Chain A
Amino acid sequence: MLAITVDELLRPYEFEFFRNGLVVATIAGALCGLIGCYVVLRSMSYIGHGLSHSIFGGFAAASLIGVNVFVGAGVWGLATALLIGSITRRRPVGSDAAIGVVTTASFALGLAMVQLWGGADTDADAALFGSILGVSRGDVYLIAAVTVVTVVTIVVAYRRLLFVTFDPEVAEVSGVRVSLTDGVLMALLATAILVTMNVLGVTLIAAALVVPAVVARLLTSSFSTMLIVATVVGAVTGVVGMNLSYHLDVASGPTIVLTGAVMFVASFIVSGVRGRAGLKGLAHAH
């Protein structure tokens, strides 16, 4: 029978690992939803996808040489993010291909290192597909701190980030330091991927970045409202996805992303033609 009692629904909350995982997944969903608005509006979905894979290389290297994985993967990810930002800004011929080479090579390097030298303590599966088992109280504080920094940065630099996202060339002429703003955004993106990697998994982070933002775009034509809606949608997918993860006994990453996908379908249906027309703007290249 599909009937499920309230006691059964609340049972996972008895476990600290689940409560920690739930908090992290909720904050991770909200953080990815917030950053994801900039990612999709700048047509950077591919970069988000590539960057998450790239960071796995740093994660593997840091695990193997005994460095704190957040520090190792963070430095690796930041370097890759800035490299990608530089390639994208200069727009040489085949920048997509160059980004593809940088990120997939980094991912492949990580996989090779894990296979060659990885020990039992290298939790590559968690990084690849997401897991709540390894979430500690420290992880909760870390992701909360990153989220606070991200929100403060976005609020303080709100107009600069919006201007650069909407019209970088005019922003530059109007006195905005576009390369600096781009760098800040790429650093926020890399950091968000880094701290959400263990819950969502590198293979699925891109979806967590994209889906809430697309759902929000379907529901609003205002940028500030889109940021708020995407953040809420991301948080809700985190909560629902984590509960489903426990009850269905499936990794947290897939259930969170699938929850987002269901919300996308529902939004697509209720938003009507006008809402769907807004999705065309997500493919507009600057």
Chain B
Amino acid sequence: MTIADALATTDSLVGRETLVRLRGITCAYDAEPVIEDVDLVVGTGDFIGVVGPSGSGKSTLLRAISGAIDPVRGTVERTGVRFGFVPQLETVNWDFPVTVAECVLMARTRPVRRFWASRAERAAEREQLHGVLDRLGIGKFADRHIRALSGGQQQRMFLARALMTDADVLLLDEPTSGLDVKTRHEVLHLLDDLRGQGMAVVITTHDLNGIAAHLPSVVCLNRVVVGAGTPAEVLTPENLEATYGSPMEVLQHAGMPVVVDASPDLRAVMGS
């Protein structure tokens, strides 16, 4: 069974419409392959987590899905699909002079005729903006500078910007990075709600246990796809060691896999 087939047969994906299909793609920077021979299907209602060590090609995979980079080999099918992208918070210029409302609305570039939009159109857009911000719990911060938000609120702001594009596929680059446990769970629940409404969501993360608890599909990536499927199928000690190059144990808790670092170095430090 191919990786695409593995993802396509998970229970949550029944009746889905294919939005993006990667067929054996290889992407490279300066002729150095970053991801190789990757197959992936993203369909409506998918919620896929991509895990792997730093430099394993997770962000490159998101960029390939979105079309920000073209593969040097293989094909990508994504006709007419709209993408919303949530960047890593670390890459954002937080001193840029922009308020939360300005940041969220900058994604509304269509129609171009904003200049001569009617009062009703402007009011409708404003209503949609506040609707999205309220839904994400940051409505009262609309006129604040983006730096005035907490990490979780900043993440929600970019999510709001992505939602304002009327995206079919949401791509999030490490949306749980730097967030506390409670906020991390809130963000993942929020994304799950969105995919429940038919949107496809693809995230990269280092949070293996968050993925195991919240996501129906996971892809282990380290330049090549090591495994893809449900967390129970994919998060195995063998796959994780092949992905991270370090031994890991997988325990079962309340029917969910829980990943524990089992490297000898860590055991030595912990004195076990």
Contact = CB atoms under 8 A, between A and B. Distances in A.
B92 interface: yes
Nearest to B65: A173
B95 A277 contact: yes
A109 interface: no
B165 A172 contact: no
A162 B97 CA distance: 10
Contact of B165 (A174, A224, A278): A174
A66 interface: no
Interface extent on A, as a size class? 20 to 34
Contacts of B196: none
Contacts of A158: 114-115
Interface in A146-192: 152, 155-160, 162-163, 166-167, 169-170, 172-176
A280 B83 CA distance: 31
A157 B114 CA distance: 9
A226 to B, nearest CB: 5
Contact of A223 (B68, B87, B102, B109): B102
A174 B94 CA distance: 20
Contacts of B162: 174
Given A169-B87, A170-B85, A173-B83, A220 B109 contact: no
Interface in B64-81: 66-68
Contacts of A160: 109, 112
A170 to B, nearest CB: 5
Interface in B100-114: 102-103, 105-110, 112-114
Contacts of A195: none
A83 B94 CA distance: 30
A5 interface: no
A21 to B, nearest CB: 32
Given A156-B115, A173-B66, A221-B145, A278 B102 contact: no
A277 B67 CA distance: 35
Given A163-B107, A169-B87, A278 B67 contact: no
Contacts of B122: none
Classify the secondary structure of A's interface with B.
Answer: helix
Interface in A198-256: 217, 220-224, 226
Contact of A163 (B63, B66, B99, B106): B106
Contact of B109 (A155, A159, A169): A159
A222 B105 CA distance: 13
A90 interface: no
A281 interface: yes
A223 B114 CA distance: 17
User: Which of B92, B98, B112 has the most chain A CB atoms closer than 10 A to its own CB?
Assistant: B98
A41 interface: yes
A210 to B, nearest CB: 15
Nearest to A163: B106
Contacts of A284: 93, 95-96
B135 interface: no
A170 B102 contact: no
- The residue in A156, A166, A172 that gathers the most chain B C-beta atoms within 10 A of its C-beta is A166
B220 interface: no
Contacts of B114: 156, 158-159
B97 A175 contact: no
Nearest to B144: A221
A157 B112 contact: yes
Nearest to A152: B115
Given A157-B112, A163-B106, A175-B109, A221 B99 contact: yes
Contacts of B93: 166, 281, 284, 286
A108 B23 CA distance: 53
Q: Which of B63, B68, B109, B171 has the most C-beta atoms of chain A within 10 angstroms of its own C-beta?
A: B109
B229 interface: no
Contact of B112 (A156, A174, A281, A282): A156
A175 B78 CA distance: 13
